[in-house]
Amino acid sequence: MNGNPSSTNWLKTVKQFSGIKPSDKGIPPIERNGTLIFDDIEKAYEFNSYFASQSNLDDIETDYLSNLNNAVNNLNEIELNKTEIKDALNVFNPSKASGFEQL
């Protein structure tokens, strides 16, 4: 090796001395209800099921209509003048990509 080894060469050397073998075996088996899953498609479904369950909200008791009415009342209280609108529009940079709100 020369006096300035690249990080890739350095890692290869360390792995050779440590006995670590490179592997590309993908996702290791995962456990579902006490059973190991080895099939990649089944693992994908299991991950999808898990992450989908994380986004389920317990919102049965939520009163959406009252929340909507509160939002409408708040919007009705906003008063703008031409200068405020012009100042707000001047903040946007038309040469930049739009964000998630397409602004």
Instruction: Name the residue with tokens 């990509």.
Output: 97
Q: What is the pLDDT of residues 71-90, one digit of tens each?
A: 777 777 788 899 999 998 88
> Would the pLDDT of 2 be above 90?
no
Q: What is the pLDDT of residues 34-70, one digit of tens each?
A: 999 999 899 999 999 988 888 777 777 777 777 777 7
pTM score above 0.75: no
Q: In this structure, is residue 47 part of a structural domain?
A: yes
pLDDT the model gives residue 102: 64
pLDDT the model gives residue 44: 92
Q: In this structure, is residue 102 part of a structural domain?
A: no
CB atoms within 10 A of CB 32: 14
Domain containing 78 equals: 6-96
Here the tokens at position 38 are: 């080895």
Q: In this structure, is residue 1 part of a structural domain?
A: no
Question: Which has more pLDDT, 7 or 24?
Answer: 7
CA atoms within 13 A on the CB side of 55: 5
Q: In this structure, is residue 101 part of a structural domain?
A: no
CA distance 32 to 5: 44
Our count of domains for the chain comes to 1
